[in-house]
């Protein structure tokens, strides 16, 4: 009787452990897909902003802007920050009215303000 109980308990824990691992894998996969979507959305937004200002740029194979041309000089981009500009309405709600883009380069930080909204 003890052997049967131990055997059933072992099978239960083995099956439950695999189900828990599969569930965690599903969560990780969903997070990875969301991160990829957000990254693509950010990359496309930066490209749209640069295009709207007619600033030449280069993208890498993942779609990230890696170089921009300002006043006939190419700058290699090490990082880009996008900061929403908020405005408070009469009902005290805040709305995004623009975005500030900060392009980090070896020569310094380039700042650009755009009224385009990330979609």
User: What percent of the chain has a predicted confidence (pLDDT) above 70?
Assistant: 80
The residues facing 119 across adjacent strands are none
Containing H/E element for 114?
Answer: strand 108-114
pLDDT, mean of residues 106-119: 88
Q: Between the CA of residue 8 and those of 14, 65, 86, what are the distances in Å?
A: 10, 57, 59
Query: What mean pLDDT comes out for the span 55-76?
Result: 95
Instruction: Tell me the per-residue pLDDT of 80-90, one tens digit each, with 9 for 90 and over.
Output: 999 999 988 88
For residues 88 and 94, is the Cβ–Cβ distance under 8 A?
yes
- For the chain, the average pLDDT equals 86
pTM for the complete prediction?
0.73
* Better-predicted residue by pLDDT, 54 or 1: 54
* Measured distance CA(39)–CA(33) in Å, rounded: 10
- Grouping H, G, I as helix, E, B as strand and the rest as coil, residue 73 is strand
Separation CA 59–CA 9 (nearest Å): 56
Report d(CA 62, CA 76) in Å as an integer. Answer: 16
């Amino acid at each position: 009787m003890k052997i049967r109980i131990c055997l059933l308990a072992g099978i239960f824990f083995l099956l439950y452990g695999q189900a828990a691992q599969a569930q965690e894998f599903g969560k990780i996969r969903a997070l990875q897909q969301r991160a990829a979507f957000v990254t693509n959305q950010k990359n496309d937004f930066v490209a749209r902003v640069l295009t709207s200002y007619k600033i030449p740029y280069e993208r890498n194979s993942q779609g990230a802007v890696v170089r921009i041309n300002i006043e006939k000089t190419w700058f290699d981009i090490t990082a880009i920050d996008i900061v929403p500009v908020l405005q408070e309405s009469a009902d005290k709600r805040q709305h995004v009215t623009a975005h500030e883009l900060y392009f980090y380069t070896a020569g310094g930080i380039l700042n650009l303000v755009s009224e385009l909204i990330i979609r």
